[in-house]
């Protein structure tokens, strides 16, 4: 019997202590032999049967472990990603904050949507005793992102929300930071074990073949992905083509349109231009929320102000050679088009990641919108010059889905129409600000229509990110002994519940 089969068999039938020892011994980095081991050990870990309080405690332990190894991890991440130590230090803090945030989401308990209806024989049809809640789906596959080596990687937002839901996680490492990924999973598994959690609830696999095998594995119940539209679409199709299709929650490409009104430009074009310069060049323009398309009033002076703001803009070595090559070819092709004008281009001979700004008219944008709406990952933005509300609204009508939409307006200006137009395609609308930077909060939404995400009703940031890894179950006339404590008479856990249509706040 081969090593893979033997380990998988052990995961399925061995006593709990043997399973835990087996999980501790597996270093899941070989794509040819470890997907089966990692998934089966995760599925057999018992993590789905853990209590919400235990999961909250384990998530807090992961946060403490990440912070305890901050200096080591930042140094390793800087070597692999070229991001600055200051940026990475802040990202470690964000990652720990996310883990603690989902610890509180798990502990608070309203996410399970506990709902009870009392029996009523007088109704037509008669109503039985019904109790419903959300339960964990099972093993979740998480594909790490290139641009956030901590916050959307091994212990990032997808992993944190899945663990909070009660789902074990197998992470597919990103090739842009493989050594960091291995070290973070080692630290995470150690922290889980020391806190009394099954270490097998967190595992790592590496390589292209491992990624496809992970999506195909019959015990994987859902997938979270952050990456390119092309790669995400291929995996989305793979998840849908399985004999039993599974949900695929992908964050793919987003152009994040911005509208600057004539009144806003007249009031302070220089300040808005400076804000745009800082936002679309931040960390080399390698943010999913980078404003890549900006509608500006023609003749407002905005373009000159933006070019001036970019003269001393900092540059950033891009994350990988592949990303740098794609940015170079993509930005060059756009700048060479007959229907655009180059507003600003840094010295590409000395800095391949120098920012690029091109401009076009509304008519040309609408005619070639498929091209202009294709994300160019890196420090590039497209300006669309408009004259009049009708032209602007015609251009907004051809937009694809985006994570964000932004409106810069003057105080008291009526922007209801713009809000409606951008709200049609955007998951979050920002007013007089910039979309880069996504707060961790209960009300946050980080999602949007295709191609921004594959499931626009869900988010990858904020409390309701946990909803992706849950599925409903209803109990009809169930014996008390089989009910989860969240649905038991008397609400022993004090979770928020809806009882006979009335919301009851937990104690």
Measure the CA–CA gap between 292 and 269, rounded to whole angstroms. 18
CB count within 10 Å of CB 307 equals 15
- Clarify whether 251 is annotated catalytic: yes
Q: Which residues are 133's β-sheet partners?
A: 473
pLDDT at 6: 28
* pLDDT per position as a tens digit, 66-116: 999 999 999 999 999 999 999 999 999 999 999 999 999 999 999 999 999
* pLDDT per position as a tens digit, 444-473: 999 999 999 999 999 999 999 999 999 999
pLDDT at 506: 72
* pLDDT per position as a tens digit, 314-357: 888 999 999 999 999 999 999 999 999 999 998 766 676 799 99
CB count within 10 Å of CB 5 equals 11
In order, the DSSP letters of 438-469 are ----TT-----STTTBS-TT--SSSGGGGGGG
Global confidence as pTM: 0.92
pLDDT at 12: 31
Using the Cα atoms of residue 103, residue 104, residue 105 and residue 107 in order, give the sign of their dihedral: positive
Residue 390 clears pLDDT 80, i.e. is over it: yes
Residue 152 clears pLDDT 60, i.e. is over it: yes
* pLDDT per position as a tens digit, 13-69: 233 444 444 444 444 445 557 899 999 999 999 999 999 999 999 999 999 999 999
Spot the catalytic one: 91, 251, 303, 486: 251
Own/partner long-range contacts of 486-492 (Cβ < 8 Å, ≥24 apart): 486/109, 486/112, 486/114, 486/133, 487/114, 487/116, 487/131, 487/132, 487/133
Cα separation values, 430 from 50, 74, 280, Å = 39, 31, 15
pLDDT at 330: 94
3-state secondary structure of 188: helix
Spot the catalytic one: 80, 288, 375, 486: 288
pLDDT at 276: 98
Burial of 452 (0-12, 13-18, 19+ CB in 10 A): buried
Number of residues assigned to the chain? 507
Burial track 461-488 (b if 16+ CB lie within 10 A, e otherwise): bbbbbbbbbbeeeebeeeeeeeeeebbe
pLDDT at 34: 85
The sheet with strand 293-297 has its strands ordered as 341-345, 356-361, 380-386, 293-297, 257-260, 402-408, 426-431
pLDDT at 314: 84
Backbone φ/ψ region at 192: left (φ over 0), alpha (ψ -120 to 50), beta: alpha
CA-nearest of 499, 503, 480 to 132 is 499
Q: Give Cβ neighbours of residue 320 (< 8 Å, ≥ 6 apart).
A: 146, 175, 176
Measure the CA–CA gap between 390 and 148, rounded to whole angstroms. 39
The average pLDDT across 182-198 equals: 98
The average pLDDT across 178-196 equals: 98
* pLDDT per position as a tens digit, 271-299: 999 999 999 999 999 999 999 999 999 99
Name all domains of the chain by residue range, CATH numbers in brackets: 30-252+458-466 (3.40.605.10), 257-431 (3.40.309.10), 469-504 (no CATH)
CB count within 10 Å of CB 347 equals 9
């Amino acid at each position: 019997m081969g090593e893979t089969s033997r380990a998988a068999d052990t995961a399925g039938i061995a006593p709990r202590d043997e399973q835990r020892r087996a999980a501790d011994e597996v270093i899941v980095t070989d794509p040819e032999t470890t997907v089966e081991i990692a998934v089966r050990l995760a599925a057999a870990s018992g993590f789905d049967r853990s209590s919400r309080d235990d999961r909250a405690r384990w998530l807090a332990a992961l946060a403490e472990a990440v912070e305890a190894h901050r200096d080591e991890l930042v140094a390793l991440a800087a070597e692999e990603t070229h991001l600055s130590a200051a940026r990475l230090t802040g990202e470690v803090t964000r990652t720990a904050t996310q883990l603690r945030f989902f610890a509180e989401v798990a502990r608070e308990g309203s996410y399970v949507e506990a709902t009870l209806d009392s029996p009523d024989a007088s109704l037509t049809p008669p109503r039985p005793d019904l109790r419903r809640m959300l339960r964990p789906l099972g093993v979740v596959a998480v594909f790490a992102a290139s641009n956030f080596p901590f916050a959307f990687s091994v212990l990032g937002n997808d992993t944190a929300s899945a663990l909070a839901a009660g789902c074990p996680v197998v992470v597919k490492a990103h090739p842009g930071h493989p050594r960091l990924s291995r070290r973070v999973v080692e630290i995470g598994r150690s922290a889980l074990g020391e806190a009394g959690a099954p270490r097998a609830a967190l595992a790592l696999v590496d390589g292209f073949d491992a990624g496809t095998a992970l999506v195909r594995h019959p015990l994987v119940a859902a997938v979270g992905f952050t990456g390119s539209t092309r790669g995400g679409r291929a995996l989305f199709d793979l998840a849908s083509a399985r004999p039993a299709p599974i949900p695929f929650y992908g964050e793919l490409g987003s152009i994040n349109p911005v509208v600057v009104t004539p009144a806003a430009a007249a009031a302070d074009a220089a300040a808005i231009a400076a804000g745009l310069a800082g936002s679309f060049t931040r960390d080399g323009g390698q943010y999913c929320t980078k404003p890549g398309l900006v509608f500006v009033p023609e003749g407002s002076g905005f373009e000159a102000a933006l070019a001036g703001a970019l003269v001393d803009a900092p540059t950033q070595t891009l994350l990988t050679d592949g990303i740098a090559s794609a940015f170079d070819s993509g930005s060059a092709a756009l700048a060479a088009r007959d229907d655009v004008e180059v507003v600003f281009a840094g010295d590409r001979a000395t800095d391949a990641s120098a920012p690029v700004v091109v401009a076009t008219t509304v008519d040309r944008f609408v005619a070639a919108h498929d091209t202009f709406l294709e994300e160019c990952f890196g420090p590039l933005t497209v300006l669309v010059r408009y004259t009049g509300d009708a032209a602007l609204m015609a251009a907004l009508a051809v937009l694809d889905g985006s994570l964000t939409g932004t409106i810069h307006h003057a105080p008291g200006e009526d922007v209801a129409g713009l809000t409606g137009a951008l709200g049609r395609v955007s998951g979050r609308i920002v007013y007089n600000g910039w979309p880069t930077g996504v707060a961790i909060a209960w009300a946050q939404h980080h999602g949007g229509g295709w191609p921004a995400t594959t499931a626009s009703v869900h988010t990858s940031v904020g409390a309701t990110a946990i909803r992706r890894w849950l599925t409903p179950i209803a109990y009809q006339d169930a014996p008390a002994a089989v009910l989860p404590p969240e649905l038991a008479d008397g609400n022993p856990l004090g979770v928020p519940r809806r009882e006979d249509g009335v919301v009851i706040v937990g104690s």
